[in-house]
Structure 1
Amino acid sequence: MPDTIDLVVPNVVEFNLKRELLDFDPGVENDLVEHGTGYTDQCVFWSAGDRVLVLPAGYSQEWLTHVHAGLGSSVPDVISPLPRTGRLIRDLLDDDRALAALAAATDGVREVRLLSFGASPDLYSLASVLRSQGREVRLDVAGPEHYWSYEYLESKLCCVDLASHIPGFRVPRGISVTSWEQLKGAVTTIVGNGGRAVVKSMYGVGGYGSAVARGDADGTVRRFWQTLRREPFFGTFPLTVQDYIAHGTDCPAVDVLVDEGAVPRMEYSMLGVDGLRYRSLALGPGVLDPDLEERLAALGTAVHTFAQSLGYRGWMTVDCLRGLDDALYVTEINARRSGAMHAVALAERWADEVPVAYVNDALPLRLSGPVSYEEHIRPVFDELWARGVRAYPSTVRALTGHRPSLGIVVCARSAADGERIATEAHRAVNAAVTAAGTGQKRAAPVG
């Protein structure tokens, strides 16, 4: 048994649901549990060391074994608690069988390094349990005395504050509102002058919690109000109403590791977006032009210094957009690991060979029949690995959903190569699904 292990705990759901001011109805909560759980499997790529995985129930053993074969590593121990609430750590702490399995998996280990999605009260409870079992625990976030800094920086409204604290931290011009009457007035003022407005709640997930207000053909903003009524994250005030900034199709971001040092580790990426929704990302050398990377570096360093002063520790992301005026505007801070973290780990692993990573988390699959990992997906990636291509299925829980989709991460020599490989793999999987549904032979290999 190694002296130190990583305990990988993708507490995505509890992080996204810890919104004390929002009262989600059971249907919305179930949707958020399903959405967050769908991304938890990406954590298998976070660490290449000795580790134990805590995964929500319903993970695919076929996928887990196959992916580790493609990585050339052994499958780690997995602990999967009974899904009573959908909140991974809470379910773990309420499951005696799972806790016993955790104690057995860490038996003889001196130090446990927790790798989490982000800080949450349950994470500190898990650390206490491990310490009670005689383990030394190293958190990847700050201690509970600084937990407030995660809540503060995760709020989308904090960016308005930071614009006055951090030189070069620019946000779109906006108005903060605390009532429906104020919101209506602010939106009417901006849209009535021929503009567009972006309305943001304090919290959001995957683009939800933001909405664009624009004039309809009849001169109203009826569609905008309908959107707000459907969006659960707009259930409380304050909200912020910002000018819509015209920008390109891709948005730059920087992941910052806040630690004790003066010079932070930073990872730069370019996000592909569809409206306000994240679609894909690319990271690595050459993805950003040098001038943009230099500006992101200055911004990331300044945010690191400020967050460090609050007691914050761990990964965070600064999402931006590059206006048509070439200015860099901060849209939000995510006070947690981002969806780029599995790509960062893989790109680091093969930095000398294929240093650029491309990710698409939700490639749609055709509804011509049930999707089988063994029949439709495994053969496609086996062919890629036989050719030395570093491409992996990263999210497969949605294969059985009402809208089946597949996540793919690729390490390549360029972002264009990565996107091409992911597109070809996606096409090959869809062809295999279609062929199975019609009784045809499987399509030709990828490439």
Structure 2
Amino acid sequence: MDGWVGAWTGGRAAVHIGNVADFNAQFFAPGMDAAQRARRLRQAHHYACLAVGYSPEPAVLVLPVEVDRAWIDWLARELAWGPVEVHDGLAVDRTLAEALAARPALAARIVDCGHPVVSWGRTAAQGEGPELAAVHRYESKAAAHALFAELAPDHPGITVPQQERVDGRRRAARRLTLRAARGRTTVLKSPHGVGGYGTVVVEPADLFAAGGGGALLRRLVGSEVLPPDGELLLEEFVDPGPSARLRDLTYDAVIGPDGTVHPVGAGVMEVAGTHYQGVTVGPGVVPRAAEETARRFTLAVGERLAAEGYRGWYDIDFVTDRQRRLAPTETNLRLTGPSVAFMLRERLDRVRGPGHLVRTVDALPLGARLAPEALHEHLDRLRPRCARLGVVLLPLIPTTGHAPEPAVGLALAGPDAEALDAAQALVEAAGHALTGMFEALR
């Protein structure tokens, strides 16, 4: 099979390993305490439910959290999967690799089942070597920035924001304060971070309201936005201007086993502040000129990654400026939320016909905490209502419905953006309406 699907799994059903926490743990700050580490592992374990979409079709699903089998059956019906073998509830406050090490029979089953194995990202548990070295190097926002700056002169339509590397919190505070005094907004980053952790936009008013750069940094560390120690990056804020519909873009690609780079596609991300919320992918979502600019640059980055030994999925995230130029902000040498949208689109186009747009919403708020059975019933009532809009409803993260801030992750697939907008408004309103469950108790 040609193209990215062939390069990823050879077009075969695959074993999906939900090792989000394992990947993230490689980049935890040395000063992170045990309680924060446990919280971040648990959060990542919930996000690992996206493992249902690590390829267009799972054969075996390995998850750290316990899930309801009815969820898998729902997806299997909609996506025409064959039988899916599920191993769940394997890890709570430890990594999935640690859990599998304690279950050698399951680990052997994964190796010997005859299916390709895909995971969120490369870790030492999968072996050392040039691929892992490339991950550790270019997951750094400083190293990625240096690569972007090197490649950008050959790519019209690409602009690279200025970045300053600062050692020590006192110097960072002074530099932030100086930039704020000049009226500059700064994107403050730690070299490593995922999902918005380690990145914050600092406007001058925010800094002065906090009492200066030092006080602001202490507050950001205390609220676990930034790690307590280590290098910080001060990056130029890219102003999108008055029209920010295409503010945050991503372009995904796959480097095959032979080092060939295969384009996957572009998407428009939904980002709140610096926190990724979801993405929309499909025909016409990104204007052709912007998509082509992103494609050329992403493939050029991929050629460099391949030369350094990386194999697998990667993407480049971009923001747009007032001139509609694309500014690359980071590279992810792993799967991401948008990757899952591309997998779903590929599968839907294959089994239902071409032309799907897919939108993922990672954390749609619920107005009440719901047990798994109640959440399933709530979504099942919405399924036919979405279908009348021409939209397929696909639950993706069903394990946070009973969290202190209850939410559900899902995907919507339909013929156009208008249908997706209508379906999203529908499910959002229904989620909010759950607050009415408790009206009679007041």
Q: Cα offset for 1:316? A: 0.8
| 1:347 equivalenced with 2:345 (yes/no) | yes
2:308 equivalent in structure 1: 310
| 1:254 equivalenced with 2:251 (yes/no) | yes
2:63 equivalent in structure 1: 55
Tell me the distance in 1 between the aligned counterparts of 2:85 and 2:366.
30
Tell me the distance in 2 between the aligned counterparts of 1:390 and 1:5.
22
CA contact (8 A) 1:269 1:284 kept: yes
Fraction of identical pairs, as percent: 22
**Alignment deviations for residues 349-371 of structure 1 (CA, whole Å, 9 cap, x no partner):** 23334421111110100037767
CA contact (8 A) 1:170 1:330 kept: yes
Matched residue SS, 2:394: strand
Tell me the distance in 2 between the aligned counterparts of 1:150 and 1:218.
33
**Alignment deviations for residues 167-194 of structure 1 (CA, whole Å, 9 cap, x no partner):** 3464311221111232122112211101
1:443 equivalent in structure 2: none
**Alignment deviations for residues 182-221 of structure 1 (CA, whole Å, 9 cap, x no partner):** 2122112211101111111011121110122222389455
Change (3 A) 1:322 1:93: same
Tell me the distance in 2 between the aligned counterparts of 1:282 and 1:38.
21
2:178 equivalent in structure 1: 189
1:100 to 83, 86, 105: 105
Change (3 A) 1:263 1:67: closer
**Alignment deviations for residues 63-106 of structure 1 (CA, whole Å, 9 cap, x no partner):** 222332333334411123642643112211212xxx42454577
CA contact (8 A) 1:317 1:334 kept: yes
Q: Which amino acid aligns with 1:47?
A: S
CA contact (8 A) 2:31 2:227 kept: no
Which runs of structure 2 are paired with 1:202-213 in the superposition (5 Å)? 202-213=191-202
Change (3 A) 1:34 1:303: same
1:415 equivalent in structure 2: 417
CA contact (8 A) 2:221 2:227 kept: yes
| 1:121 equivalenced with 2:124 (yes/no) | yes
Matched residue SS, 1:181: helix
Show structure 2 runs of 5+ residues with no match.
1-11
2:42 equivalent in structure 1: 34
- Count of aligned positions: 413
Tell me the distance in 2 between the aligned counterparts of 1:21 and 1:429.
36
1:43 equivalent in structure 2: 51
Tell me the distance in 1 between the aligned counterparts of 2:142 and 2:192.
8
Q: TM-score, normalised by structure 1?
A: 0.84
2:141 to 131, 156, 162: 156
1:323 to 316, 321, 324: 321
Q: TM-score, normalised by structure 2?
A: 0.85
Tell me the distance in 2 between the aligned counterparts of 1:415 and 1:404.
27
Q: Cα offset for 1:425? A: 2.4
CA contact (8 A) 1:353 1:413 kept: no
Show structure 1 runs of 5+ residues with no match.
125-142, 441-447
Between 1:28-37 and 1:357-366, the stretch displaced more is: 28-37
| 1:237 equivalenced with 2:249 (yes/no) | no
Change (3 A) 1:12 1:228: same
Matched residue SS, 2:313: strand
CA contact (8 A) 1:156 1:332 kept: yes
Change (3 A) 1:10 1:419: farther
Q: Cα offset for 1:120? A: 0.3
Change (3 A) 1:232 1:280: closer
CA contact (8 A) 1:377 1:429 kept: no
Change (3 A) 1:257 1:426: same
CA contact (8 A) 2:269 2:277 kept: yes
CA contact (8 A) 1:70 1:385 kept: no
Q: Which amino acid aligns with 1:362?
A: A
Q: Which is bigger in relative contact order (C-alpha 8 A, separation at least 6)?
A: 2
Matched residue SS, 1:426: helix
Change (3 A) 1:104 1:263: closer
Matched residue SS, 1:380: helix
